Homo-oligomer: A and B are copies of this chain.
Amino acid sequence: MTRFAFTVEFDGRPFMGWQRQAHGPSVQQRLEDAILAVTGERAVIHAAGRTDAGVHGLAMRAHADVAKDIAPFRLMEAINAKLRPDPVAILACEPVAGDWHARFSCIGRAYVYRIANRRAPLTFERGLVWRVIQPLDADAMQEAAQILVGRHDFTTFRSAHCQAQSPVKSLDRLDVARDGDRIAIHAAARSFLHHQVRSMVGCLALVGMGRWTADDLRAALEAKDRAALGLNAPPDGLYFMRADYPPA
């Protein structure tokens, strides 16, 4: 039995999310089906994060145990061939120690959230960015974002369906940068609550529009109450970008 670690890119638009669902396509199901087709084995694939419906992956990390004697490169190529025509691709595949776990060994996660700050309807990127029509002040957003960095009770920014035991998380980074009509928001932490990034982005957008001040954001955080949330950004712009692990 060999444990293989995978780096997975996926377009979340056609999926109900990463995790296998009874009533619709998921990235997990597609990957497990592809592994079955290649190896004849019903492997279970574990991921660093379980993204929601419509959320994308640039480099999700995942692992599965495979009994078949197959080289990593051949396994990757064969899975990719079976994944067609779904918009899921294995970018890298390597054998790892038997106790390496994509989710439990992960010590850092990074997301990027992409906004198209423009009036015109989207063409190439429908479902791949959040279009915000109102002009956003990215500098004000970046300044306000620093209020959220650090160790806080993020109850305000947590979905009612969140299964985490504690709402207290340490946010290592929340950076807002504009490039033309694009705004990218980079978030990094050991782990995130359910909807945390989208909820933070939604409230930062209110700051960018001038509808919220930085003090309003601070008050929302301190309220520790989901009802204090200003806006939950749509899944369209959210990408799981990186998972970090201790050196082997």
Contacts and interface: CB of A to CB of B under 8 A. Distances in A.
Interface of A: 9-11, 56, 77, 80, 83-84, 87-91, 118-124, 126, 128
Contact of A123 (B10, B122, B123): B10
Contacts of A124: 9, 11, 56, 87, 128
A89 B121 contact: yes
Nearest to A118: B91
B120 A9 contact: yes
A129 to B, nearest CB: 11
Contacts of A10: 123
A88 B9 contact: no
How many monomers of this chain does the complex have? 2
A103 to B, nearest CB: 22
A240 to B, nearest CB: 13
B87 A120 contact: no
Residue from A83, A89, A122 whose CB has the most chain B CB atoms within 10 Å? A89
Contact of A120 (B80, B123, B126): B80
B56 A9 contact: no
Contacts of A91: 118, 120
9 contacts: A9-B120, A9-B123, A10-B123, A11-B124, A56-B124, A80-B121, A87-B123, A90-B120, A91-B118
Contacts of A9: 120, 123-124
A83 B126 CA distance: 14
A7 to B, nearest CB: 9
Nearest to A91: B120
A166 to B, nearest CB: 34
Contacts of A84: 121
A90 B80 CA distance: 37
Nearest to A124: B11
Nearest to A9: B123
Contacts of A83: 121
Nearest to A10: B123
